[in-house]
Amino acid sequence: MSTRIFLASRNRKKIEEMERILREHVPGVEVVGLDDLPALGVDYDEPVEDQPTFQGNALLKARAGLAATGLPSVADDSGLCVDALNGMPGVLSARWSGPRDGVAREEVDARNNALLLAQLSDVPDERRAARFACAVALCHPGGEQVVLGEMTGRVLREVRGEGGFGYDGLFEADDEPGRSTAELSREEKDAISHRGHALRALGPVLAATVVR
């Protein structure tokens, strides 16, 4: 096998983030996303993410990726879990404000953020605790693994920062108080993020099992 792996995502920032972190353990690894598949002559039907847990959705996508591409396939499912909303948006984070079909990612992010702010408008600062949770699944011909990661913090009262994606502009991590995760450098965010924790746990597994 080569150091090329498939990531079941069209989010270019997420693909770059995953490639950057995995290279700590697998130098030269190339992460291929959904939009790269036509150039490789691969037909891929995205499965419906209908599982009730991050782990279930990650495995669903990684298994479909392996079946379609033959490459070691990685998929993640992650979301923001807000205490005051009983753990929601959770697995519904990406589509919290409605279906994403045909809508630009930036518009979806803005819509989701606006809805979350509205839902927490009367929640005091001391009750705005939240966490980002992530499950990353790896499926390859020899088996499959799932690793977990999380980042604890709180939801801010306004969007701050230009970096990141999703809810990053609304989240202040416990490990980096005073700034939203959208205000952190890539290296600072990678060091503390839910996805960073999960991918660093996955890196040695990937290096030992599917890369040679």
What is the tally of structural domains in the chain?
1
Taking only the tens place, the pLDDT of each residue in 90-143 is: 999 988 998 877 788 889 999 999 999 999 999 999 999 999 999 999 999 889
Give dist(CA 15, CA 75) in Å, integer. 10
- Nearest Cα residue to 58 out of 163, 143, 138: 138
Higher pLDDT, residue 135 or 21: 135
Given a cut of 70, is residue 1 above it in pLDDT?
no
- pLDDT in the model for residue 205: 84
Q: Look up the domain containing 104 and give its range.
A: 4-209
Which CATH number fits the domain that encloses residue 98?
3.90.950.10
Report the pLDDT averaged over residues 169-193: 95
Binding-site members are: 9-14, 77-78, 165-168, 189, 194-195
pTM (two decimals): 0.85
- In this structure, are residues 57 and 51 in contact, taking their beta carbons and an 8 Å threshold? yes
Query: What angle separates helix 194-209 from helix 12-22, to the nearest 10 degrees?
Result: 60
Q: Is 77 a catalytic residue?
A: yes
List the catalytic residue out of 76, 77, 109, 190: 77
* Cα angle value 168/171/172 (rounded, 5°): 125
Q: What is the pLDDT of residue 126?
A: 96
Cβ neighbours for 11, distance < 8 A, ≥ 6 positions apart: 33, 105, 165
User: What residues form the annotated binding site for substrate?
Assistant: 9-14, 78, 165-168, 189, 194-195
Confidence of residue 11 (pLDDT cuts 50, 70, 90): confident
Q: Which of 86-90, 124-128, 204-208 shows the lowest mean pLDDT across its residues?
A: 204-208
Task: Please tell me the distance from the alpha carbon of residue 62 to that of residue 76, in angstroms, as a whole number.
Answer: 8
Residues of the binding site for Mg(2+): 77
pLDDT tens column, 33-83: 999 988 888 888 888 888 999 999 999 999 999 999 998 999 999 999 999
